[in-house]
Chains A and B, each alone.
Chain A
């Protein structure tokens, strides 16, 4: 049986990271409880929150008042970054309250180890993630995005190189030559919008057929083993 989709989230710490978590979550028709000591930070995202609390998340009674309990909250995200002790304490408190899933932000490896030991369900390391992506995009300008979905495999988004343009996928033989697979193509389609203005819209072709032709400006979504992805990145420049 598949796991039920989480519906209620609590985000503790509404700084830059917590703010972005709330904004992104709010696109998915879920209920969000937001808590921060700083009124201004709460104010910035209050339109996206079902319950907005200016308060101290280390105080169990304030958490309970906000409706943070095992029955009503599916996922808690501890986004506090500036104070490691508070982050660990709140993560522990949420585990003790029996929240089904607790995701906590770590600021360094030591912090991540502590969070793992107290039993949080997932440790997120945004700075490390961003640094990895930034370095990758600086060293390989054609790589627009990448993520690893295991120690062995990664997905990258690459701007199609000139040598691929106006050629069909089967003609390029990406899989046989480089041992990686194009699983999607992002294509910008020029349009005239409802207001009569020139614009573009993005279309994604999932699992393109072998006779799909690569056009100028296409972004290829490529999956493969890490070592093959690295070789492919070198080929495309």
Chain B
């Protein structure tokens, strides 16, 4: 798969997510996970989808993995703190 196809997958995944099509978005991001296993953004987006579906324990795993790959990922930290009930402002 070339770079253009990967970018198309990203656009499609985000499009589905922004339109509340969580299951469709998840399928796309799971494909991206296979193609870009070291990309923290893929884990972050899967985390957002899981959180939106109220699958909190899976969402936490994804945000933790995002932070493992990119420790300063502000949004992943914000969502993880919220799920863990930590009342800490993310700067």
Instruction: Evaluate contact between A188 and B14: CB separation under 8 angstroms.
Output: no
Number of A-B contacts (CB under 8 A): 38
Instruction: Evaluate contact between B45 and A190: CB separation under 8 angstroms.
Output: no
Asked if A217 is an interface residue, CB under 8 A from chain B, the answer is yes
Residues 42 to 91 of chain B near chain A (Cβ within 8 Å): 44-45, 48, 51-54, 75, 87
Instruction: Evaluate contact between A217 and B54: CB separation under 8 angstroms.
Output: yes
**CA–CA, A199 and B75, complex, Å:** 8
Instruction: Evaluate contact between A190 and B53: CB separation under 8 angstroms.
Output: no
Instruction: Evaluate contact between B18 and A216: CB separation under 8 angstroms.
Output: no
**CA–CA, A190 and B53, complex, Å:** 12
Interface string of A176-206 (1 = CB under 8 A from B): 0000000000001011110001111000000
Asked if A215 is an interface residue, CB under 8 A from chain B, the answer is yes
- Across-interface contacts of B17 in A (CB, < 8 A): 190, 198
- Across-interface contacts of A159 in B (CB, < 8 A): 54
**CA–CA, A190 and B20, complex, Å:** 7
Interface string of A144-175 (1 = CB under 8 A from B): 00000000000000011000000000000000
Instruction: Evaluate contact between B48 and A190: CB separation under 8 angstroms.
Output: yes
Residues 34 to 69 of chain A near chain B (Cβ within 8 Å): none
Closest Cβ of chain B: how far from A48's Cβ, in Å? 11
Total number of B residues with any Cβ neighbor in A under 8 Å: 15
Residues 67 to 120 of chain A near chain B (Cβ within 8 Å): none
Asked if A20 is an interface residue, CB under 8 A from chain B, the answer is yes
Partner of A216 from the list B19, B22, B44, B87 (CB cut-off 8 Å) is: B22
With A23-B87, A24-B87, A190-B17 known as contacts, the answer to whether A217 contacts B52 (CB < 8 A) is: yes
**CA–CA, A75 and B18, complex, Å:** 45
- Across-interface contacts of B20 in A (CB, < 8 A): 190, 215-216
**CA–CA, A215 and B87, complex, Å:** 27
- Across-interface contacts of A191 in B (CB, < 8 A): 18
Asked if A214 is an interface residue, CB under 8 A from chain B, the answer is no
- Across-interface contacts of A192 in B (CB, < 8 A): 18
**CA–CA, A159 and B54, complex, Å:** 7
- Across-interface contacts of B19 in A (CB, < 8 A): 190
**CA–CA, A126 and B73, complex, Å:** 33
Instruction: Evaluate contact between A200 and B48: CB separation under 8 angstroms.
Output: yes
- Across-interface contacts of A219 in B (CB, < 8 A): 54
Can you list 9 A-B pairs, Cβ within 8 angstroms, ordered by A?
A23-B87, A190-B17, A190-B18, A192-B18, A198-B44, A199-B48, A216-B20, A216-B52, A217-B52
Q: List the 6 shortest-distance A-B pairs measured between CB atoms, nearest first.
A: A159-B54, A217-B52, A190-B18, A188-B52, A190-B17, A217-B53
